[in-house]
Structure 1
Amino acid sequence: MMSMSKDYINYIMPFYSPADFVVKKAKGSYVWDTNNKKYIDLTAGIAVTSLGHSNKELIKVAHSQSKDVWHLSNLYINEPTTRLAKKLCNKTFGDKVFFSNSGGEAIEAAIKTARKYSTQKFNTKKNEIISFSTSFHGRTLMGITLSHSKHLNDGFGPLPRGIKNHEFNNPNGLDKVFSEKTSAVILELVQWQSGITKADKNFIKQILKQAKKNDAL
């Protein structure tokens, strides 16, 4: 373990402060370290393994698919991706699907899509995005700008422009943040960056009211 921890420090960029043990294996909601000590993974791999580690069904599907097509770019059509997109559209409000590699990429795509829509439908000045304090939208330059947190964006300026930030769960002053330049609002209904915090119903209603008034997404 000491050797592995030393190699981690020597060769991996220090973006995080990891736990003081090395994970050897994982199954379901549990992980084991190199000393076979068992832990409960309450983070679910930062919320991406909700079906559990080493899920038998997922392993089976991934193994089967790997025999046919492993990876293709967007320059080619493949059946599994198209079938999944159709199913998602049929089961949700969406008309189209954009598949991305991460949450950060999804956020970037959402902002670009909103601005493209607003500037083409209305005018080129309608490009402002409203975000809220104590939020988390990834670690890209746009993501940390939206989060408006000093510990996330310190040292990475200049940051993207056109972002307005308002206090989370505070409906007061929302009418002053919104304007005819507002393109879209990005909001977590449940925040986790500073503890599990739900958005109040009145706060959401006021956001919807202002968004509708100002033709914002």
Structure 2
Amino acid sequence: MIDKKAYQKMDYALCLLSAHADGKDSGCIINSFHQVTSSFPAKFTIAVNRENVTAAAVEQAGSFCVTLLAHDAPAALINDFGYRSGRVADKFSPYEVRRDEVGNPYLTDSMVSRVSCRVIDRLEIGSYTLYVGQATEAEVFGSGEVLTLNAYAARGKAVPPTATVYREMVGGGFKCSVCGYIHESETLRDDFICPICRATADKFVRQN
């Protein structure tokens, strides 16, 4: 028997993962950023759905930047990077963008800290790729607390579908079988397109 409530007790930081490739900035909200060694330089892992535009950018760049969202990060920022697809919008255009030493974009407003990494290993896990990164840069932007998955859910908001770990809604809705996005509705139009990965309606499964 597997009781999902056992591991739903865990909490995760919400972060902005970003990378620059092919002259384009890509970014999405994740909660899979974890430090896995305390050696110097430290090593971290991220897990990203391979259908995500940012995953392709990380793969091509061979590096990535992660910024940790502040506890009071505005909903607009999370909507831009958690619910919009990079295939149809330049998510960074409304923001003041800074760059790390290899050109990956990052934001400082509503962020607590930043870690940039060089990819040193990868492992494919189902539809996800687990990247191991070695820190190349790190800095602190503020002293506030980090926004976590549970704290964001407590705002009454569904967890961004680009996040690797999310709390599924109970009763109703349709889940994208490609990227995990959950469309919170009792019906799904035949012409519905996933706002994250652009999958068509036939890729959605009704949630019980």
TM-score (normalizing by structure 1): 0.24
Larger RCO: Structure 1 or Structure 2 (Cα < 8 Å, ≥ 6 residues apart)? 2
Larger Rg: 1
TM-score (norm 2): 0.25
More strand by share: 2
